[in-house]
Chains A and B, each alone.
Chain A
C-alpha cells in the first residue's frame, strides 16, 4: 500500500490538499472554485476513459453530461423524487446512449467518430429544446434547493467532499485501467486494433465497454453538477463548448494519464475563474479579453508540452534519473 502511495504521490498531494482545504478556508468563492476544479477534473477523467485509454476521441460527451443533469433535475421537479434516483436513471440512460456511440466507434474512425459524437449531442440539444411540455424547452429548469444529503442540498464544505468523492471514483477507474488485464488490452486496442485482434482481444466489445463506462461516469458528474448549480438549460448542458472543455482539460493535463485531467482542470479552471474575475472589473472594451488570454495559454501548453502537464513531471523524473 505504501508503495502505491509513493508511486501516486502527485495524486496524494492533489486530493489531500482538496480534502484539507475546507478545514482551513471558509471563503465561499474559493470553495466554489475548488468544487468546480474537482468536478471538471472528474469529468475530464471520465472523458479520458474513452478518449485517452481507449483512443476513442469524443467531442460529444456533453450528451452524457446533459442526460445526467436533466435526469436529476426532472426527477426532482416533474416526479417529486430525490436527485439520487435521477442520478441512477441518468446512468442507465447514458449507458444506453454510450452503447450507441460505442457501436458507432466500430464503424467510424478518428475524425469521423468525433464528428458523429458532436452530431449526437446536437440531436439531444434540439430534442430537449423542442420537447417543451416535459423539459421546459430552451428556458431551462431551476432545481429547487432543499437542504439535506438525500436531496443533495449541501453547503460549500459538503459539496467539496461530494465533488472530491466523485473525483476519486473517476481517478480510481483510471488507475484500474493502467494496471489491470483489461486496461492493458484496451491500450492494445488504442494503439492498433488489427494487431490487438490478432492477439485474441475482442476489440469491438472492449471499445463499446469503455465508451459506456465513460458515459456512465460523465452522467454521474452531470447529475451532481445540476444539483450544485441549481439550474439546467439545454444550450449549456448539451453544448459543444462543454464537450471541448472535457477533452481539453485531459489533453492539456495529459491524455491517457490518471492525474492529467485533474492537473488540466486545476490550470484551466483557476485560470479561467481568475481572468474572468479580474477583467470583468475593467473597462467594457476589455470584456472578452480573458478568452484571448485563455486561448493563448492553451496554445502555449500544446506547443511546448504536447504530452500534457503530467508529462512535465515525467520529464523531471527522467532528468533526475540521468543526473
Chain B
C-alpha cells in the first residue's frame, strides 16, 4: 500500500443480526486508485460489509472513514454525495423508466439541471455500452445489460470509490469479458474500486489485493497469487481442486 492516507479506512467494524455476527471486527484499508477484491463463501458477510460501508446498515461497533471523514452510521444518500456508492447484487433498476432516465437520475445528484444531467447520462450510457438501449424501459433489459445499468447509474453520481457487488454473476463469457474491460477502463481513469466476486479467474485479473471473508471475519489478505496459496483460504473457500487446477 502507498504512504498516502487511505481513501477508505475501516476500523474493527462489527455488524450483528440478533445472535448472528455477520461482520466481525473487520479492519480494512483501501488506497486511492486501488482495486480491492473481496471473496469468501456464501454467507461470509461480503454483501453485509458493503451494506455497512455504504450506509444501509449501522454497525454495532467500529468506525468507517471515507476520504478522512467519519461516515459511520450516515445514510446512504449522504455517503453517495461524498463520493462513495455501490451497485446491488440483486439488481434494482428503475424498471418503468427508460435506461437513459435511470442514469440521468444518478447524474442529477451532481448536476443542477435536467438538461445537463441528460447530456452526462448520454455520455455514461455510451461509455457503458448501453447506447443502443437508451430509450427502452429498464425492465426489458436482459440480465447482462441490467448489471451494466447498475454500474452506469452508479458512475453517473461521479464516485471516487465504487463498490461492485457481483456484477459478473450470471453473465456469459462475452458479457463477462466486456464488463472486465469496462472495470479496467474505469480504474485506468482513476476510480478506486472494491469488487465482490465469485468468479476467481476474473478476480485474479482485476484485483491488486484480495481480502477473504469467512464467517464475518477477514481471515486473509494479500496479492491474488499469494491468496490462492493460503492454507486457510483453500480450506474455507477455494478447495483443493482449485489449487490443483492452478498448479
Confirm or deny: B237 has a beta carbon within 8 angstroms of a beta carbon on chain A.
Answer: no
Given A194-B56, A197-B75, verify A188-B105 contact (CB < 8 Å): yes
In the complex, how many residues of chain B place their beta carbon closer than 8 angstroms to a beta carbon of chain A? 32
Are A196 and B105 touching (Cβ within 8 A)? yes
- Contact at A195–B92, with CB atoms within 8 Å? yes
B154 touches A194 (CB 8 A): no
Q: A181-B112, A185-B105 are in contact. Are A202 and B97 (CB under 8 A)?
A: no
> Is the CB–CB distance between B114 and A200 below 8 Å?
no
| CB interface residues, B 92-117, toward A, < 8 Å | 92-97, 101, 104-106, 108-109, 112-114, 117
Main SS at interface, chain A = helix
Would A199 and B104 count as touching, CB distance under 8 A?
no
How many pairs of residues, A versus B, come closer than 8 Å at their CB atoms?
Answer: 78
A179 at the interface (CB under 8 A from B): yes
A186-229 CB mask vs B (1 if < 8 Å, else 0) is 01100110111111111100000000000000000000000000
- Against A, the Cβ 8 Å flags (1 = close, 0 = not) of B38-82 are 000000000000000011100000000000000000011100110
Nearest residue (CB) in B for A182 is B108
Decide: A203 and B77 in contact? CB cutoff 8 A: yes
Nearest CB of B to A207, in Å: 12
Is B157 engaged at the interface, CB distance under 8 Å to the other chain?
Answer: yes
Contacts of B108 in A (CB 8 A): 181, 184-185
| Any A CB within 8 A of the CB of B153 | yes
- Can you list 27 pairs linking A and B with CB atoms under 8 Å apart? A180-B114, A181-B114, A184-B104, A184-B108, A185-B108, A187-B101, A188-B105, A191-B93, A191-B96, A194-B88, A195-B88, A195-B93, A195-B94, A195-B153, A196-B77, A197-B55, A197-B77, A198-B87, A198-B88, A199-B85, A199-B154, A199-B156, A200-B81, A200-B85, A201-B105, A201-B109, A203-B77
Q: Please report A residues at the B interface, Cβ cutoff 8 Å.
A: 179-181, 184-185, 187-188, 191-192, 194-203
Q: Closest 4 CB pairs between A and B?
A: A200-B109, A191-B94, A200-B80, A195-B92
Q: Which residues of B contact A (CB under 8 A)?
A: 54-56, 75-77, 80-81, 85-88, 92-97, 101, 104-106, 108-109, 112-114, 117, 153-154, 156-157
